[in-house]
Structure 1
Amino acid sequence: MTDLTAAPVRRPGRRALFPEAVPDPQGEAARAIASLRFIVTLADRSITIDLTMLSGRKALAQALAGALWRACQVGGPAGSVSTAAAYANALKFFWRYLDAANPSVTRLSDLSAARIDGFDAWMEESGLHPNHRLHRMSKVLNLFRLAEAAEPGCLPPDTSRRLMYTSDRPGVRARPRDAYGDDVATALRNAARTDLTTLIGRFGEADQIHISTLEDAGRTKALSVAHDGAMAVIDAEGVIGHRHPVFKRLYTLRRESGLPNDRLIHDLHGRRHLLAADLVPLMVLLSLDTGLEIEAIKELRSDCLKNPAGGYVEIEYCKRRARGAEWKRLRVRDGASSTPGGLIRKVLQWTDPARRRLAADTLWSHFAWGRLTPRVLATTQLVVSWTERHGIRDEQGKPLRLNLTRLRKTHKAAWYRRTGGQLERFAVGHTVAVAANHYADIPTLRHIHEATVADAMTDALDAALHPCVLSLEQEAVIRADPDKAIGLPVSGRAAVDALFSGAQDVWLASCGGFYKSPFGNEGDACPSPFWGCLECSNAVITARKLPALLSFLRFIRAQRQLLSEADWITKFGRVNGRIADQILPRFSAAEIEQAGQFAASDPTLIYLPPEAGAP
Structure 2
Amino acid sequence: MPAWVLDDPLAVTFRLPRDEPLTMGLDDLPNPALARDLAVGVTRLAHPHGPIARAGTATQYVRTARRMVRELHAEGFIGGAAQLRRTVLVAYWLRGHYGVEHRTRRMLRALEEAAPVLPPETRDLVLGRNFKKPPPNTPLPPYTPGEWSRLLDTCRVLIRQSWRAHQRIVPIAEAGADPAVAGWSEPNIAWLLRRWGPVGRPAVAEHLGTTIRRISILGGLPEVRDALFPAMDVVIAYRLLLGAYTGIVPDGLDGLDLGDIDWAGDDTVLLSYLKGRTGDESLTLSPRASRLLRQWLRHSELLRGHAAPEVRDRFWLAATYQRTAAPPGFSDCMLRKWIAHHEVRGDDGEPLTLHKHRVRTTYHAERATQGWSGHATIDPNHSAQAEGDRYLAVATPAQQAAVNAIITDAQADLLRRAERPTVLTDDDTVELVAQFPEQAAGLVLDETVLRELVGGQRDVFTAACADQLVGLHGPKGKPCPARPWVCLLCPLAVFAPRHLPNLLRLKAFFARQFRQMPREQFAAVFGPYAHRLSAEVLPRFAPAAIEQAGQQVADVDAELPLRPEEATEEAAW
User: TM-score by structure 2 length?
Assistant: 0.60
Q: Are 1:412 and 2:364 an aligned pair? A: yes
- 1:366 maps to what in 2? 318
- 1:217 maps to what in 2? none
Q: Are 1:237 and 2:196 an aligned pair? A: yes
- 1:589 maps to what in 2? none
The secondary structure found in structure 1 opposite 2:248 is coil
Q: 2:29 aligns with which of 49, 54, 70?
A: 54
- 2:297 maps to what in 1? 348
Q: CA deviation at 1:350?
A: 2.0
**Aligned-partner residue type, residue 317 of structure 1:** Y
Give the alignment of 1:426-575 within 5 angstroms. 431-434=383-386
CA distance in structure 1 between the aligned counterparts of 2:356 and 2:337, rounded to whole angstroms = 14
Q: CA deviation at 1:117?
A: 2.6
Is the CA contact 1:33–1:66 (under 8 Å) kept in the aligned structure 2? no
**Aligned-partner residue type, residue 140 of structure 1:** T
The secondary structure found in structure 1 opposite 2:137 is coil
Is the CA contact 2:261–2:270 (under 8 Å) kept in the aligned structure 1? yes
Q: CA deviation at 1:205?
A: 1.1
Q: Are 1:81 and 2:71 an aligned pair? A: no
Q: Residues 10-66 of structure 1, C-alpha deviation per residue, up to 9 Å, x if partnerless?
A: xxxxxxxxxxxxxxx79x956x234223454433334441223321x3322222223
Q: Are 1:109 and 2:72 an aligned pair? A: no
Give the alignment of 1:193-208 within 5 angstroms. 193-208=156-171
Q: CA deviation at 1:331?
A: 1.8
Q: 2:68 aligns with which of 85, 94, 105?
A: 94
Is the CA contact 2:182–2:188 (under 8 Å) kept in the aligned structure 1? no
Q: Are 1:333 and 2:286 an aligned pair? A: yes
The secondary structure found in structure 2 opposite 1:185 is helix
Is the CA contact 1:233–1:240 (under 8 Å) kept in the aligned structure 2? no
Give the alignment of 1:45-444 within 5 angstroms. 45-55=20-30, 57-72=31-46, 76-101=50-75, 103-104=76-77, 106-123=79-96, 128=97, 133=98, 135-152=99-116, 154-209=117-172, 225=184, 227-244=186-203, 245-246=206-207, 249=210, 261=219, 264-306=220-262, 308=264, 311-322=267-278, 326-334=279-287, 339-357=288-306, 358-359=308-309, 360-377=312-329, 379-380=331-332, 382-419=334-371, 423=375, 431-434=383-386
Is the CA contact 2:345–2:351 (under 8 Å) kept in the aligned structure 1? yes
- 1:502 maps to what in 2? none
**Aligned-partner residue type, residue 248 of structure 2:** L
Is the CA contact 1:241–1:370 (under 8 Å) kept in the aligned structure 2? yes
Distance 1:230 1:116, change over 3 A: same
CA distance in structure 2 between the aligned counterparts of 1:209 and 1:116, rounded to whole angstroms = 68
CA distance in structure 2 between the aligned counterparts of 1:576 and 1:236, rounded to whole angstroms = 68
Q: Residues 355-388 of structure 1, C-alpha deviation per residue, up to 9 Å, x if partnerless?
A: 3432321111221253533422355455344434
Is the CA contact 1:384–1:402 (under 8 Å) kept in the aligned structure 2? yes
- 1:508 maps to what in 2? none
CA distance in structure 1 between the aligned counterparts of 2:276 and 2:201, rounded to whole angstroms = 39
- 1:538 maps to what in 2? none
CA distance in structure 1 between the aligned counterparts of 2:183 and 2:355, rounded to whole angstroms = 43
**Aligned-partner residue type, residue 409 of structure 1:** T
User: TM-score by structure 1 length?
Assistant: 0.56
Q: Residues 493-518 of structure 1, C-alpha deviation per residue, up to 9 Å, x if partnerless?
A: xxxxxxxxxxxxxxxxxxxxxxxxxx
CA distance in structure 1 between the aligned counterparts of 2:209 and 2:358, rounded to whole angstroms = 44
The secondary structure found in structure 2 opposite 1:340 is helix
CA distance in structure 2 between the aligned counterparts of 1:365 and 1:65, rounded to whole angstroms = 34
Is the CA contact 2:255–2:273 (under 8 Å) kept in the aligned structure 1? yes
Q: Residues 126-183 of structure 1, C-alpha deviation per residue, up to 9 Å, x if partnerless?
A: xx4xxxx1x222221222123223323x112232233334404433321222221111
Q: Which runs of 5+ in 1 are unaligned?
A: 1-24, 215-219, 442-448, 461-542, 544-573, 578-615
Q: Residues 250-293 of structure 1, C-alpha deviation per residue, up to 9 Å, x if partnerless?
A: 9666666xx6x4xx543232233221111111111111111112
CA distance in structure 2 between the aligned counterparts of 1:164 and 1:190, rounded to whole angstroms = 52
- 1:19 maps to what in 2? none
CA distance in structure 2 between the aligned counterparts of 1:206 and 1:576, rounded to whole angstroms = 59
Q: Which runs of 5+ in 2 are unaligned?
A: 393-397, 410-443, 445-474, 479-573
Is the CA contact 1:141–1:166 (under 8 Å) kept in the aligned structure 2? no
Q: CA deviation at 1:206?
A: 2.7
CA distance in structure 1 between the aligned counterparts of 2:208 and 2:102, rounded to whole angstroms = 54
Distance 1:331 1:255, change over 3 A: closer
Is the CA contact 1:33–1:65 (under 8 Å) kept in the aligned structure 2? no
Distance 1:253 1:301, change over 3 A: same
Is the CA contact 2:29–2:35 (under 8 Å) kept in the aligned structure 1? yes
Q: CA deviation at 1:106?
A: 0.4
Q: Residues 442-496 of structure 1, C-alpha deviation per residue, up to 9 Å, x if partnerless?
A: xxxxxxx99x969959x99xxxxxxxxxxxxxxxxxxxxxxxxxxxxxxxxxxxx
Is the CA contact 1:275–1:368 (under 8 Å) kept in the aligned structure 2? yes
CA distance in structure 1 between the aligned counterparts of 2:366 and 2:476, rounded to whole angstroms = 34
Q: Residues 213-262 of structure 1, C-alpha deviation per residue, up to 9 Å, x if partnerless?
A: x9xxxxx9988545545434433332323222246759666666xx6x4x
Q: CA deviation at 1:121?
A: 0.9
Q: Which moved more, 1:222-231 or 1:73-82?
A: 222-231
CA distance in structure 2 between the aligned counterparts of 1:426 and 1:332, rounded to whole angstroms = 24
CA distance in structure 1 between the aligned counterparts of 2:257 and 2:72, rounded to whole angstroms = 44
Is the CA contact 1:36–1:50 (under 8 Å) kept in the aligned structure 2? yes
